[in-house]
Amino acid sequence: MSGSTRPLVLIVITCLAAIISMVSFAIWPVFLVTLGGEWNLSNVEIGWVGGAYFIGYVAATPVLVGLTDSIDAKRIFIGGSLATATGSAGFALFADGFWSAALAWSIVGAGLAGTYMPGLQILNARLSDDMRIRAVPFYTSCFSLGTGVSFLVNGTLLAYVDHKVAAWVGAGGAFAGAMAVLILVRSRAPQRRPASKARHPLDLRPAIRNRVAFSYILAYGAHTYELFAFRGWSFALFALIGARHGLSLGLVTGLVSALTLAGMAASIIGARLCLGNGRHRIISLVGMASVIVAAVSSLVLGAPVWIALGCLFIYNVCIMLDSGALTVGVVSVAGEGDRGALLAVHSMVGFAGGSLGAPAVGMMLDLGGGGDRLDAWSGALLIMGLGSALVALIQWRAWRRHGFAV
């Protein structure tokens, strides 16, 4: 089996494998615009199908990420990609309503638990400390690139095929990601801990004891609540605004894909902005700015199309500015043998928040009269903005407690 030890090549391979493994990510956020009506789902039910993805992720994370401290993350990544392929195939073959769709989608989410943070652990185990800090924001931002590619692929497929074909495409992408890592990434045994410091691979208490890391983890939970509330419903919102102004489905697809790519750049910029400027302080300021932009966006949905969509673009950038910074914060304060445990809790708390975002938006849409009403969407944006308000509060308190340096 071949593999490269060159850091840049390793980063590129891992990032590309993570991206193609995520082709299925946007199947539900895109096809909900047709399946919600076909299956007679309420907006809350639509939201919970999206939330099931993150529930599956949270359920699988303690095992799959926690084990990366004692098992080569490469093996876990491969298994996670194959689980994603299985869930996508199940969605194509069996999904015909709320429960079957939620079950299949939770399996796809569990697969992400085996690729996202384990992919980061592939890099952590094979890169120097300096290269690791530089690589983390690029890798985490590839989550945005992966979602952007997924929205582009599935938005394009929406115009020509049904959800079953899209799900088979997603399954193929995940299988290809597994094969890429199997063939191109060299195996490496995790660093052994001294016997006196031995820890069960599923013991996640190091994350609780590390108060600085835990402040980033709590903020990440609030961040992902907002992020996945926005991403889970962004295609539907853009499609609604586009239909009111005569924009084509292809243009809407391109805009939503560009939205996630802009988020990728914002994540990298935000992580770099924190270097030497106080990570807690910068993240708290970004959170405050995001709350303001969410409020403004909620007020201009009925404005001329480019004002409405422009504000939503800015809001997306504000959401993503602290994404990479929060993960870098956890990695930077984690001990070598505890990094998997900290990243497991980081992912669990984060995606637990993510599982609540889409249902919260669905609830606001139902309370506001439905997803075809802009005033209902205004309330939904305000509910999303609560995530950034919590991020700002948590990081401001951490800044006051731990100071400028972390």
pLDDT digit string, tens, across residues 177-203: 999 999 999 888 766 555 445 555 555
Angle value at C-alpha 22, between 33 and 206, nearest 5 degrees: 115
Using DSSP, state whether 371 is helix, strand or coil: coil
* Structure tokens given for 388: 């950034």
Q: What's the fold here for domain 7-189+204-402?
A: Growth Hormone; Chain: A; (1.20.1250)
Using DSSP, state whether 42 is helix, strand or coil: coil
How far apart are the C-alpha atoms of 141 and 226, rounded to whole Å? Answer: 16
Q: Please name the residues in contact with 375: beta carbons below 8 A apart, sequence gap of 6 or more.
A: 368, 369
Angle value at C-alpha 225, between 224 and 231, nearest 5 degrees: 75
Q: What is the pLDDT of residues 111-146, one digit of tens each?
A: 999 998 899 889 988 888 778 777 877 787 788 889
Q: Please name the residues in contact with 92: beta carbons below 8 A apart, sequence gap of 6 or more.
A: 163, 164, 165, 167, 168, 171
Using DSSP, state whether 373 is helix, strand or coil: coil
Domain limits, the chain: 7-189+204-402
**pTM metric for this prediction:** 0.86
Q: What is the pLDDT of residues 350-393, one digit of tens each?
A: 889 999 999 999 999 999 999 999 999 999 999 999 999 999 99
Buried b (16+ CB within 10 A) or exposed e, 104-121: bbbbbbbbbbbbbbbbbb
What is the per-residue pLDDT for 280?
A: 87
* Structure tokens given for 190: 């995790």
Buried b (16+ CB within 10 A) or exposed e, 211-230: ebbbbbbbbbbbbbbbbbbb
Do 255 and 230 contact (CB within 8 A), yes or no? no
Confidence of residue 1 (pLDDT cuts 50, 70, 90): very low
Confidence of residue 3 (pLDDT cuts 50, 70, 90): very low
DSSP secondary structure letter of residue 125: T
